[in-house]
Amino acid sequence: MKIRRMTAFAAGLLAAVAAARAEEGMWLFSDPPRAQLKAAYGFDLTDSWLTHLMRSSVRFDSGGSGSFVSGDGLVITNHHVGLDSLQKLSTAGKNYARDGFYAGTPAEEVKCLDLELNVLQSVEDVTSRVNAGVPPAATGNDAAEARRKVIADIEKESRDRTGLRSDVVTLYQGGAYHLYRYKRYTDIRLVFAPEQQAAFFGGDPDNFEYPRYDLDICLFRVYENGQPLHPADYLKWSASGARDGDLVFVSGNPGRTDRLLTVPELEFMRDVQFPMQLGLLNRWEVLLAAWSARSDENARRARDDLFGIQNTRKLRDGALAALQDPAFMGARQIAEDNFKQRLRDRPDSAAALAAFRRIAVAQGITARNYLRYRYLELGSGFFSDSFSIARELLRAGDERPKPNGERLKEYGDARRESLELDLFSDRPIYTDLEILTLGDSLTDLTEKLGYDDPTVQEILDGKSPRTRAADLILGTRVRDVAFRRKLYDGGSAAAAAAQDPMIELARSIDDEARSLRKTVESQDEVKQQAQAVIGKARFEVEGTSTYPDATFTLRLAYGTVKGYEENGVPVPSLTTLAGLYERAANHHDREPFDLPPRWEEKKAALDLGTPLNFVSTCDIIGGNSGSPTVNRAGEFVGIIFDGNIESLSSDFGYLDTQSRAVSVHSAGIIEALRKVYGVDALADELVTGHRP
C-alpha cells in the first residue's frame, strides 16, 4: 500500500505566463540562478559553495529529501519522511512511529528494512546522444522504444563504468536529457525520532496550515561496510538559525510540477484525473478512518496509509480549486492564445502550432482510456501490498529475460537493486488490513467498470467483491519473503508453477493492463515530442532562460524569511515554543493537539522564546520534505516540512503573495533535543559536526 508522499509547498507566477518572478524557481544545480541572486541580493554563488551543498544533500528514494549534518554520517530528514521506515520497524509491542526512539550508542542504532539514500555526485548532459538514438522518422511507440533503449544503454554503461546509480532524467519536456550519478547507501540506521505527537502536532487539521509548531525531524546514520560513513561534505549547523528577512536557500528533490502544460492537459486534470483521484482518496480515507476507530491496533496498522491519503487529498483539493478558478484557467488560456499568435506571426512555426494540436488529440485518447488504465494498470482497483507484490513477481518473470532496453522501465538493469530491495523487504503486511482495502477496491472497481464488464467478471470469479478479496488474501503466499525469493529466482516458470491465486489474478488482467499502459505511454510520448518542439519554439520566441519542471532530482530554490497577510491579519514569519504550549491549551490538550508527557514535564526547563518553525518564500513542492534550509554561509538554519494552504496550487504555478514554505528552525531543534529529550550527545554532534 504505497501512497507516495506528496507533501506540497511553494509559491510565484506561472512560468508559462511570464518570465520567472524574483523568487520563483526550482533551479538545476548545473544551471543555477547566479545573475538573479547577484541582482536581487548581491550574493555571489560560487562553484565550491554549490558543490558542497550538492554533496551534503541526500535523496530518500522512498520520496523525500535530507542532508548530512555531521562528519560521522548523520542525516536529518522529516519525521514524515522517516515514517515509512519507523512503521516498517514497528510491531504491536514496540511503536517507533508513535513513541519515538533514541540510540544512545552506535550499537543501539536500528537498521532500516529497505531504505535507500542517494547522494548526487555529478550531472552530465546526454541530450545529443539520446536524440541521436531516436531515428528522425520514428513516431509514437517506435520513438518511445528507441528512446527507452538508448537511455537504458547510457544508464547501464555509466553504472558499469562508475559503479554509481545512474539515471537519465528528462528535463524541459524532453528538451534536454541529463545523466545523474548517485552514490547509493542502503545500510541506514535509525538514531533519533521524536514522538509522532511532537513531529505532527496538530495532525491533519493543522497540515498545510500556518502558524505551525511541529518538530518534524528524524535522524539516521549512514553506514558503509558496517562502519559509520564519514562524508567529505556535510552542513555546518547554525545555532542561531534563520531570522526574519534573511536570504535562505533550499536544496532538495521537488517531485513533480506541471508548469508548462497546455490548456487541454490542464483540462484533463481538471475534468478527469483529479476528480477520479479525489474520489479514490475520499473513499480510502473514510474506509481507513472508520477501521482505525475500531481499535488501537487497527489505528497503528493504518496510520501511515491514512496520513498519506489525507495529505494527498488536501493537495489535490487545492490543485483542483486552482484549475476550477476562471482567474487561473482564463489566464492560462490567454497566455497560450497569445503565444500561438506570436508563433503565427513568425515563419517556420507550423511545427510548433501542429504540436499544440497533437497534444490535444493525444490527451483526448488518454482521457478515453484513463479509467481502465487507472484501475487496471495503476492498480487502483487492487489496493493491497499483496497485489503489488504478486504483479511484480509476475512481471519480473516475464520482463527480465528481455533485452534491457525492451523491458518495462521498472525492470531495467539500472533499477534492479531498488526493485529487489523493495520486493524482498521484510516489512509487516497485515492480513486484516489487506482484506479490508482489497475488498473495498474490488467493490469500487465493480462500480466503476460495471458489474457486467467481462474483465470484472473474470476478476470476481463468481464471488462478491468482499468474499473474493478475502479468498485472494488468505490464499496467496506472496506475503512470505522466502516464497517471493523463490519465484523471483525461478522466473516466469516458477511464477506459473506456483498457481498462486493473486499472481493468477494479476496474469488474468495483464494483457489488458499492458495494452492500456502502451496506449497511454504512446500518448505521453506524442506529448513529450510535441512539448519538445513547443519548448524549442518558446525559447526562440521568448528568449528567456528558466528552470525545468520538477523531476524528483536535486534543485536549488531561494527566498526570504517573510510573513504574510491572511484576511487582512498579519501572520508573522516565526513561531516559538511558547506558541506550541498555547495551541495545545486552546485545544484542551486533546488529540491531535496533545503533547507527549515529557513535553509537559520539561516545559519549565525550556527557553520558550526559542523559534520553532518559520516560513520563507522559497519555491518548493512535494519531495522537498526534509530539504535543508541554509543561509548565505551555507549553514543549516532549518528543515523544510510543509507549505501553507495558499501554496497548494504550486504544481501549476508559483503565486508569491501568500504562498510560503514552512521549516523547522535549527535553534528549536537543539533546544528540544537538549531540554526535552536530554540527548546532549546528539545535540553536540549536530553543533560540533562530530560525535563527542
| Residue 134 in the binding site for a copy of itself (CB under 8 A) | no
Using CB under 8 A as the binding rule, whether residue 196 contacts a copy of itself is answered as no
Residue type, 435: I
Q: Which is nearer to a copy of itself, 427 or 587 (CB)?
A: 587
Among 4, 230, 256, 283, binds a copy of itself (CB under 8 A): 283
Site track for a copy of itself across 406-445, x = CB under 8 A: -------------------------------------x--
What CA–CA distance (Å, rounded) separates 401 from 492? Answer: 9
Shortest separation between residue 202's beta carbon and a copy of itself, angstroms? 9
C-alpha cell at 442: 474490488
Identify which range of 40-48, 239-247, 294-302, 646-654 contacts a copy of itself by CB under 8 A: 294-302
Per CB under 8 A, does 337 bind a copy of itself? no
Q: What is the footprint of a copy of itself within residues 580-619 (CB under 8 A)?
A: 587-588, 592
Q: Nearest Cα to 557, choosing from 252, 342, 236?
A: 252
Determine which residue in the list 136, 462, 543, 568 makes contact with a copy of itself, applying CB under 8 A.
Answer: 462
The cell for 640 is 523544510
Helix (H) or strand (E) holding 67, with range, is strand 64-68
Nearest to 265 by CA among 378, 129, 366, 147: 366
CA distances to 221, 279, 312 from 274, rounded to whole Å, are: 38, 8, 11
Report the residue from 135, 450, 454, 597 that binds a copy of itself according to the rule CB under 8 A. Answer: 450
* Residue listed under C-alpha cell 542504532: 109
* Residues between 37 and 96 that touch a copy of itself (CB under 8 A): none
Distance CA 347, CA 341 (A): 12
Q: Which of 112, 396, 423, 460 binds a copy of itself (CB under 8 A)?
A: 460
Cβ 611 to a copy of itself shortest distance, Å? 25
**Binding test (CB under 8 A) with a copy of itself, winner from 44, 160, 271, 540:** 271
How far is residue 195's CA from residue 189's CA, in Å, rounded to a whole number? 18
Residue type, 433: L
For the record, the C-alpha cell of 151 comes out as 537511455
Contact 614, 598 (CB under 8 A): no
Told to check if 453 binds a copy of itself by CB under 8 A, we report: no
- Shortest distance, position 590 Cβ to a copy of itself, whole Å: 8
Nearer to a copy of itself, 425 or 644 (CB): 644
Where do runs of H (alpha helix) occur along 543-607? Answer: 577-586, 597-601
Query: Which amino acid, residue 650?
Result: S
CA dist 314 and 278 (Å) reads 9
Task: Kindly state the smallest distance separating residue 282's Cβ from a copy of itself, in Å.
Answer: 4
Q: Nearer Cβ to a copy of itself, position 136 or 326?
A: 326
Burial label, 567 (beta-carbon count in 10 A; 0-12, 13-18, 19+):
exposed
Indicate whether 472 belongs to the interface with a copy of itself (CB under 8 A): no
Give me the 548-587 binding string for a copy of itself, x by CB under 8 A, dash otherwise. Answer: ---------------------------------------x
Contact status: 544 vs a copy of itself (CB under 8 A): no
| CA atoms of 80 and 86, how far apart (whole Å) | 9
In whole angstroms, what is the distance from residue 428 CA to residue 655 CA? 42
Verify binding: residue 448, a copy of itself, rule CB under 8 A: yes
Residue linked to cell 484576511: 567
CA angle 285, 290, 294 (to 5 degrees): 145
The answer to whether residue 204 forms part of the interface with a copy of itself (CB under 8 A) is yes
Nearer to a copy of itself, 292 or 616 (CB): 292
CB of residue 369 to a copy of itself, shortest distance in Å: 19
The contact set with a copy of itself (CB under 8 A) reads 203-205, 267, 270-271, 275, 278-279, 281-283, 285-286, 289-290, 293-296, 310, 313, 320-321, 324-327, 329, 443, 446-448, 450-451, 460, 462-467, 587-588, 592
